[in-house]
């Protein structure tokens, strides 16, 4: 009789919600909608049936409700509301990448700029510049001068080299097409046959501003200038000149500040698409940092150019470009992971960079290798050449390549981005509303632990699982 009673109690316990496999597993961010009190009642009713887990004991901390440390996957909606009521901000810990928690996609949410930064920006005469944008060019590139910076990038998952498999055949074919197609060139410039050699000789030994003034736009044409002169398909592109990417989220090291950069304006996207991106870029421009932004007005940057002069000049420019393009490629990877389509962009070139001085040019394509939960970033050398040799035979090679990039590659790239944005579920479907998007305050400077989070993010998460359910 005793044996039958024990067996009966065992069956009842196995049917109890608090002992089922589903409930015994670690709560996910989607569990925010569950009532905390009900969870506590169920826990107490089965307390005698389960052994306590020492790993679930938490130490007190200032940044958690009730002074109790809680993993960000365990936050409940009621906890977050209580925290907001007490401290008038969302808990920073919710947005930090904790060990074993990099699988959550909440790191993609837009991060509120600190009030100090916003006040400083509002006090400037122009929204487009900050005092740091006026720093000397030497100061801007100081941290990139050391070859050791390449090793630092490599430890974070960004390599200034090809991957073992290289780029896809389709990307190789695209690069060849961009190199081969002829383009009309501008007239009455320093690259005219009768003045080319003399102009290049005058630039020897000159500094970077002089090289930029004389020939930079003859190497990398301005997207906005071309649009002004009638290239209507470029109207939705925006460019920046030596402007810090202060709306981006750091990868590692200084904030990128390319000599020239091109990306997409808000006008490139429909109102519906911008609404879908709102959780990730913020509702009001220039108030949030985002994985998908360079400057506050530049979405998904895809081209940078660095001009350098002097010893090892192009190596320094390459390091700067690699850093900037790591952020650019990461943005596309994170977007496609969000909608579980990352296989489509694996080893595909997603951005380009140009490094040049008064005579030499290096063109690279940048891409990601996605292997399960690991993402690494690489570059593919498209062309390296001296445009002053052979009487300037290849002086227009880079110019034609960039124009072809604008005309051929860019429209396809934009279409690819928009197709992914169209699949982003609404905030309500993801369990988040505008008021509950948990945008972090004072998180414009993420911790070192979060710098390389994207390299370890996996799409097999509760956040993306909710996105998958929403799409169904």
For 67-76, the pLDDT digits (tens) are 444 444 455 5
Per-residue model confidence (pLDDT) at position 380: 96
Supply the mean pLDDT for the chain: 74
pTM equals 0.69
pLDDT beyond 90 at 172: yes
pLDDT higher at 116 or 216: 216
Per-residue model confidence (pLDDT) at position 110: 64
pLDDT beyond 80 at 334: yes
Total tally of structural domains belonging to the chain: 1
Domain that holds residue 332: 115-456
Tens digits of per-residue pLDDT, 144-166? 877 788 998 999 999 999 999 99
Q: Examine residue 36 and state whether it is found in any structural domain, yes or no.
A: no
User: For every residue of the chain, which 3-state class applies, written as one string?
Assistant: CHHHHHHHHHHHHHHCHHHCHHHHCCCCHHHHHCCHHHHHHHHHHCHHHCCCCHHHCCCCCCCCHHHCCCCHHHCCHHHHHHHHHHHCCCCHHHCCCCCCCCCCCHHHCCEECCHHHHHHHHHCCCCCCCHHHHCCHHHHHHHHCCCHHHHHHHHCCECCCCCCCCCCHHHHHHHHHHHHCCCCCCCCCCCCCCCHHHHHHHHCCCCHHHHHHHHHHHHCCCHHHHHHCCCHHHCCEEEEECCCCCCCCCCCCCCCCCCEEEEECHHHCCHHHHHHHHHHHCCCCCCEECCCECCCCCEEEEEEEEECCCCCHHHHHHHHHHHHHHHHHHHHHHHHHHCCCHHHHCCCEEEEEEEECCCEEEEEEEEEEEECCEEEEEEEEEEEEECCCHHHCCCCHHHHHHHHHHHHHHHHHHHHHHHHHCCCCCCCCCCCCHHHCCCECCCCCCCHHHHCHHHHCCCCCHHHHHHHHHHC
Query: Strand (E) positions, 43-162?
Result: 111-112
pLDDT beyond 60 at 140: yes
pLDDT higher at 55 or 259: 259
Q: Examine residue 13 and state whether it is found in any structural domain, yes or no.
A: no
Q: Examine residue 377 and state whether it is found in any structural domain, yes or no.
A: yes
Give me 167's structure tokens: 């780029």
Q: Which pLDDT band, with edges at 50, 70 and 90, does 136 fall under?
A: low
Q: Examine residue 97 and state whether it is found in any structural domain, yes or no.
A: no
Q: Examine residue 346 and state whether it is found in any structural domain, yes or no.
A: yes
Q: Which pLDDT band, with edges at 50, 70 and 90, does 130 fall under?
A: very low
- CB-CB contact of 347 with 171 (8 Å): yes
pLDDT beyond 70 at 197: yes
Minimum mean pLDDT range among 207-211, 278-282, 301-305: 278-282
Per-residue model confidence (pLDDT) at position 249: 85
Q: Examine residue 282 and state whether it is found in any structural domain, yes or no.
A: yes
pLDDT higher at 31 or 448: 31
pLDDT beyond 70 at 28: no
Tens digits of per-residue pLDDT, 394-445? 999 999 999 999 999 999 999 999 999 999 876 545 555 443 444 444 443 3
Q: Examine residue 320 and state whether it is found in any structural domain, yes or no.
A: yes
Q: Which pLDDT band, with edges at 50, 70 and 90, does 278 fall under?
A: confident
Q: Examine residue 49 and state whether it is found in any structural domain, yes or no.
A: no
Show the CA angle centred on residue 236, arms to residues 235 and 240, nearest 5°.
95
pLDDT higher at 77 or 206: 206
pLDDT beyond 60 at 124: no
Per-residue model confidence (pLDDT) at position 313: 86
Q: What is the mean pLDDT of residues 244-256?
A: 86
Tens digits of per-residue pLDDT, 287-296? 677 889 999 9
Q: What is the mean pLDDT of residues 241-262?
A: 89
């Amino acid at each position: 009789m005793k044996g039958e009673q024990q067996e009966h109690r065992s069956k009842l316990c196995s049917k109890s919600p608090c002992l089922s496999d589903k409930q015994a597993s670690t709560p996910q961010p989607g569990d925010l909608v569950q009532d905390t009190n009900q969870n506590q009642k169920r826990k107490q009713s089965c307390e005698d049936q389960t052994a306590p887990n020492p790993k679930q004991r938490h130490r007190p901390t200032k940044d958690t409700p009730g002074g109790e440390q809680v993993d960000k996957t365990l936050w409940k909606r009621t906890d977050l509301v209580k925290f907001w009521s007490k401290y008038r901000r969302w808990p920073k810990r919710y947005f930090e990448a904790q060990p074993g928690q990099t699988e959550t996609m909440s790191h993609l949410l837009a991060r509120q700029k600190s009030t100090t930064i916003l006040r400083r920006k509002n006090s400037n005469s122009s929204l487009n510049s900050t005092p740091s944008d006026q720093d000397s060019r030497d100061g801007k590139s100081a941290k990139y001068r050391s070859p050791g910076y390449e090793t630092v990038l490599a430890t974070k998952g960004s390599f200034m080299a090809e991957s073992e498999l290289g780029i896809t055949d389709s990307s190789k074919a695209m690069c060849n097409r961009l190199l081969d197609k002829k383009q009309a060139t501008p007239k009455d410039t320093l690259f005219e046959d009768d003045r080319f050699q003399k102009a290049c000789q005058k630039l020897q030994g000159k500094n970077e501003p002089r090289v930029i003034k004389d020939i930079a736009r003859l190497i990398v044409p301005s997207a906005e200038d071309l649009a002004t002169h009638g290239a209507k398909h470029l109207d939705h592109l925006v460019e920046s000149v030596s402007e810090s990417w202060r709306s981006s989220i750091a990868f590692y090291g200084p904030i990128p500040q390319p000599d020239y950069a091109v990306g997409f304006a808000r006008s490139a996207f429909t109102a519906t698409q911008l609404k879908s991106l709102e959780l990730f870029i913020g509702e009001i421009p220039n108030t949030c940092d985002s994985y998908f932004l360079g400057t506050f007005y530049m979405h998904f940057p895809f081209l940078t150019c660095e001009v350098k002069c002097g010893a090892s000049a192009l190596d320094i420019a390459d390091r700067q470009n690699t850093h900037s393009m790591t952020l650019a490629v990461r943005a596309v990877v994170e977007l496609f992971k969000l909608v579980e389509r990352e296989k489509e962009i694996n080893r595909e070139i997603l951005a380009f960079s140009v490094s040049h001085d008064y005579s030499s040019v290096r063109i690279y394509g940048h891409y990601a290798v996605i292997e399960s939960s690991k993402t690494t970033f690489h570059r593919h050398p498209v062309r390296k050449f001296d445009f002053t040799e052979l009487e300037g035979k290849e002086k227009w090679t880079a110019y034609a390549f960039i124009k072809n990039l604008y005309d051929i590659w860019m429209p396809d790239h934009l279409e690819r981005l928009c197709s992914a944005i169209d699949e982003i579920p609404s905030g309500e479907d993801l369990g988040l509303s505008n008021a509950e998007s948990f945008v972090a305050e004072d998180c414009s400077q993420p911790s070192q632990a979060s710098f390389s989070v994207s390299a370890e993010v996996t799409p097999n998460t509760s956040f993306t699982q909710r996105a998958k359910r929403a799409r169904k």
